[in-house]
Amino acid sequence: MPTKKILLSILILAMFSWCNGQHKDDRTQFFPKVELPVENIPKKQNLWVFILAGQSNMAGRGLVEPQDTVPNTRVYTINKQGDMIYAKEPLHFYEPSMSGLDSGLSFGKSLIKHIPDSISVLIIPTAVGGSSISQWLNDSIHREVKLFTNFKEKAELGMRFGTVNGILWHQGESDAKTKEAPLYQIKLSELFYQFRKIIMNQEATVVIGQLGSYSTNPMWSKINDHIKYYVSTDPNAGMINTQDLKEKGDKVHFNSEAQRVMGERYAIEFMKIHN
């Protein structure tokens, strides 16, 4: 009898381990296996650079599906080594155990429909999940990334390849948990001043994503109010609405469909401001 119980216990443990393995595989099963280097890099004047910054909803937590790994010959990103490659999701590489679908590739593919055929797009990821705006301003090390320094390094890399035309920002969930939430708009203003200083263009376009409306934390809507107010004070900033978008089941992160829609909205909003 004890032997049967031991065998049953082993079987249960094996099933549990298998299920956990399957769950992990589900997250990464469609991750691209091969990087495609960009061999014919466009001339600097023909390459528009965009920097993705913020926390996990910009870093991406959606499920990557086959459609998210189909590259476009005009949409590029960088790998961990700083080499230019054709963009496939996931773009962010800072948190390999959590990385998922972000809105970057969708943004790039949407944007090239509205710009001249001679222009290509380079999307540079810098977002790190769980980071607060104060950590960005203070250049804190968060999840092994020195946030502001990393942004500066990636922006300088982008400027060697082309012209930084815009910054996409999605962040605020962490600030909604702190007493600093009432200062969010002031800190946004300071951070974007510093970002634009790095790229040497105080009129560079910034597009900000609203926090999701699905949260049970009432401070999320307060952060959205700060974003809305900031955008009203900055003629070169825009905001995308996310009230109709759904979460992935954790009340924190947008699902895959939402991430793709957000990418399209970032592109449309950028073009409204850019034109």
- Give the model confidence (pLDDT) of 42-78 as tens digits: 999 999 999 999 999 999 999 999 999 999 999 999 9
- For 76-98, the pLDDT digits (tens) are 999 999 999 999 999 999 999 99
Angle at 220 between CA 218 and CA 221, to 5 degrees: 75
In which band, very low, low, confident or very high, does the pLDDT at 25 lie, cut at 50, 70 and 90?
A: low
pTM, rounded to two decimals: 0.90
- Name the percent of the chain lying above pLDDT 90: 88
For the cut 70, the answer to whether the pLDDT of residue 274 exceeds it is yes
pLDDT of amino acid 130: 98
**What pLDDT is recorded for position 75?**
98
Cβ proximity of 263 and 125 under 8 Å: no
The pair of structure tokens assigned to 176 is 């909604």
Please choose, from the candidates 67, 78, 97, 3, the residue with its C-alpha nearest in 3D space to the C-alpha of residue 38: 78
